[in-house]
Every structure is written in structure tokens, then in C-alpha cells.
């Protein structure tokens, strides 16, 4: 199910052409016969693909990469395997954006799906699915038995929805794979482009988002919540996790199983949340953090550091609950 592709992919391209895209001064014509078939994350990139490294937090993943080449900076290149070609640049994310656009020229914007049909015209395809009024369905959409789709909902092309799902009214779903027994309440937007921009003096540059959203079995997502698709990897919500209203989940976030997330919580991009995590309302989790299993985060907290397993934290910046109570008593 995870191999469903939502964006047209170009290529392969000669490695020398990719190098010229990010640094016109370099000449690697001797590698012109080697073809690069895609760009992917450190862990997922294959031997004929390119990847990137932009933070020392990913040392472990960088040492394991199988990518042919890696876009990185001079001070981070030491963390890469010897057989991986290092493409050292000043602005890693700018270079990654240039290469991503080469393979996925239409993934930096969310173009409206031009293949939508009213569900009333598709009764032969979805014999055991209940539709409300004015539902619009794209091409190659699969919806499982006994699912209900609310009025004015849009499900764009190639989306997969499992059995016994409830999708509320005025929901938009794109670039998403949904397992069985999932409940997505009214007004949610799932699989939309993340807030990926490269700030440069001349003009902010949009970063393509070519990943997808994967929602595992038994998940519930509250009304008016937003879930961004991944940039290169995927955004994931684990089995039996319950999410309250007006929660924002940014690109590449991975939330574990059996989590409870209260209203108006915000997750910045690429954070990893463990299993059985409880987060109080209006808490915020910064990007690229790891929150361990069985962690409890108090309402209104601001998390700016990793949290090990089994911790309880509160406050801004979030500290252990014991330290937070001590400060309040002073």
C-alpha cells in the first residue's frame, strides 16, 4: 500500500547534470554515464539515488545510507560512508530543492485535481459506500466496504481509504493512504503541501513535497485538523491514536501508536513521537525532535528538546514536572 505514487516522476538523469544543477562550477563529466533515478531520505535512498544531510542529529542515519551521493555541507560530510560521493554546498536545502524539482516539477504547489467526479456518477464503483451530497471523487480512488463519506467532501485521485471508515463533511483528502476503522471529522485537510520554504534574499523558494500521509488502523482525527504530507519521507499517524480538534501535524512527523493528543497542539516538521504519548491542549513540539514512549506533556507546554521515555514535562521551555512544580512554589 505504501508504494502508491501521487506525483509524476521524471528521470533518470545523468549524475553530472544533477551536479551542474546545484553547482555550475563543478565538472564531473567522467560520471556522465551514471544515471540517478531519484532523491530520497538518508534511510530510504537506494544505490542509484541521491540524498541529503543537513544536521548532525542524523549521524546514525547518515552512516547507514546506501545513496550514491549526498548533498551536504563540508562540516557534515565526515558522517557519511566513504563510498558515498559528497556534494558539499553552502545551502543544503536550496540545493535539495533544485534537485527535487528536477525529478518532481509539479510537487511544489497543490494543483486542484482536474479528474474529480460527483459520487452520484460512480455508484457502480462504490456499491457498499455511503456518500453524502456533493462529494467529489478523483480517479483510481479506492474506498473499502461500509465506509461513509460526508457531504461536500473531496477525495482526490489515487487516495486509498480502508473499510469501516467515517470521513466527515467538508473534508479534503489527497496524497494519503488510510487503513480500516479510521474516523476523520468535519473540516479536516489531509495530505496537503507542508510549509516548506527556503528563505533566500531574492525570493523565498518553495520546496517540493513528494511524500504522502499514512494513517494506520483505528485512528481518529478531530474536526478542522490539518495533516501535511511528507517532503521526501512520509507523515505517519500510528494505530489507535486519537487526535482532538484543530491539531496541526507538519510534514514528515511520525506519531506512534495509542497516543492521545488534545486540541490545538502543533507539531513542527520531522518530529518523531513515540507510542502511548499524551499531550495536553495548546502544547507545541519543535521540529526534528524525538519524544520517547509513554511521555506526558502538559497543556500549553513548549517542547524544544528531545524527551526520553516515561517522562512527564510541563512549561515553556518544557521541563520535568517535578522541576516545574518547584518553580511554581518559589
Residue 4 within any structural domain of the chain: no
- Residues 67 and 32 both lie in one domain: yes
- Residues 182 and 323 both lie in one domain: yes
Domain count for the chain, please give it: 2
Domain boundary residue among 103, 134, 166? 103
Q: How many CB atoms lie within 10 A of CB 25?
A: 6
Residue 108 within any structural domain of the chain: no
What the block records as the C-alpha cell of 97 is 530543492
| Angle 307-305-72 from CA coordinates, rounded to 5° | 115
- Residues 197 and 264 both lie in one domain: yes
What is the pLDDT at residue 20?
85
CATH of the domain at 98: 3.40.1390.10
- Residues 274 and 173 both lie in one domain: yes
What is the pLDDT at residue 327?
82
- Residues 177 and 205 both lie in one domain: yes
Backbone phi, psi, residue 118, to 5°: -65, 135
- Residues 212 and 299 both lie in one domain: yes
What the block records as the C-alpha cell of 58 is 542524523
- β-pair type (136-137, 117-118): antiparallel
For the stretch 113-125, pLDDT in tens is 999 999 999 989 9
- Residues 122 and 210 both lie in one domain: yes
β-bridge partners, 71: 52, 87
- Residues 50 and 173 both lie in one domain: no
Residue 288 region by backbone torsions, left for phi larger than 0, else alpha for psi between -120 and 50, else beta: left
Residue 109 within any structural domain of the chain: no
What is the pLDDT at residue 30?
62
Please name the residues in contact with 263: beta carbons below 8 A apart, sequence gap of 6 or more: 222, 244, 245, 246, 247, 281, 282
- Residues 246 and 144 both lie in one domain: yes
What pTM, to 2 d.p., does this model score?
Answer: 0.94
Residue 35 within any structural domain of the chain: yes
In contact, 306 and 315? CB cutoff 8 Å? no
CATH of the domain at 202: 2.160.10.10
- Residues 220 and 251 both lie in one domain: yes
Residue 313 within any structural domain of the chain: yes
3-state helix, strand, coil in the chain (%, to 5): 15, 25, 60
User: What per-residue string of b and e applies to 112-136 under the rule 16 or more CB within 10 Å gives b?
Assistant: ebeebeebeeeeeebeebebbeebb
What is the pLDDT at residue 22?
86
Residue 307 within any structural domain of the chain: yes
What the block records as the C-alpha cell of 172 is 479534503
Q: Which residues of the chain have pLDDT under 50?
A: none
Q: How many CB atoms lie within 10 A of CB 34?
A: 15
Domain boundary residue among 48, 74, 103? 103
Domain span at residue 59? Answer: 13-103
- Residues 121 and 249 both lie in one domain: yes
Radius of gyration of the chain (CA): 21
d(CA 95, CA 195): 18
Catalytic residues: 251
Residue 7 within any structural domain of the chain: no
Q: Return the SS3 of 320.
A: strand
Amino acid at each position: 500500500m505504501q508504494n502508491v505514487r501521487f506525483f509524476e516522476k521524471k528521470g533518470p538523469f545523468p549524475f553530472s547534470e544533477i551536479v551542474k544543477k546545484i553547482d555550475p562550477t563543478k565538472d564531473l563529466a567522467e560520471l556522465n554515464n551514471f544515471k540517478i533515478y531519484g532523491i530520497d531520505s538518508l534511510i530510504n535512498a537506494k544505490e542509484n539515488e541521491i540524498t541529503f544531510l543537513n544536521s548532525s542529529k542524523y549521524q546514525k542515519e547518515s552512516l547507514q545510507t546506501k545513496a550514491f551521493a549526498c548533498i551536504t555541507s563540508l562540516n557534515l560530510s565526515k558522517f557519511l560512508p566513504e563510498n558515498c560521493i559528497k556534494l558539499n554546498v553552502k545551502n543544503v536545502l536550496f540545493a535539495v530543492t533544485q534537485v527535487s524539482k528536477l525529478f518532481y516539477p509539479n510537487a511544489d504547489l497543490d494543483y486542484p485535481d482536474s479528474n474529480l467526479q460527483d459520487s452520484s456518477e460512480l455508484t457502480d464503483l462504490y456499491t457498499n459506500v455511503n456518500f453524502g451530497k456533493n462529494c467529489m471523487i478523483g480517479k483510481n480512488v479506492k474506498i473499502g466496504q461500509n465506509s461513509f463519506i460526508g457531504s461536500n467532501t473531496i477525495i482526490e485521485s489515487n487516495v486509498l481509504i480502508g473499510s469501516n471508515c467515517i470521513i466527515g463533511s467538508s473534508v479534503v483528502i489527497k496524497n494519503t493512504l488510510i487503513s480500516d476503522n479510521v474516523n476523520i471529522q468535519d473540516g479536516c485537510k489531509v495530505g496537503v503541501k507542508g510549509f516548506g520554504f527556503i528563505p533566500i534574499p531574492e525570493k523565498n523558494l518553495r520546496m517540493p513535497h513528494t511524500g504522502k500521509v499514512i494513517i494506520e488502523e483505528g485512528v481518529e482525527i478531530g474536526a478542522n485538523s490539518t495533516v501535511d504530507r511528507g517532503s521526501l519521507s512520509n507523515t505517519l499517524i500510528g494505530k489507535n491514536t486519537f487526535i482532538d480538534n484543530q491539531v496541526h501535524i507538519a510534514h514528515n512527523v511520525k506519531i506512534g501508536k495509542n497516543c492521545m493528543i488534545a486540541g490545538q497542539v502543533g507539531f513542527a516538521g520531522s518530529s518523531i513521537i513515540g507510542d502511548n504519548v499524551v499531550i495536553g491542549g495548546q502544547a507545541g513540539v519543535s521540529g526534528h525532535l524525538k519524544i520517547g514512549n509513554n511521555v506526558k506533556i502538559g497543556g500549553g507546554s513548549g517542547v524544544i528538546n528531545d524527551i526520553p521515555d516515561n517522562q512527564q514535562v510541563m512549561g515553556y521551555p518544557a521541563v520535568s514536572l517535578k522541576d516545574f512544580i518547584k518553580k511554581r512554589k518559589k
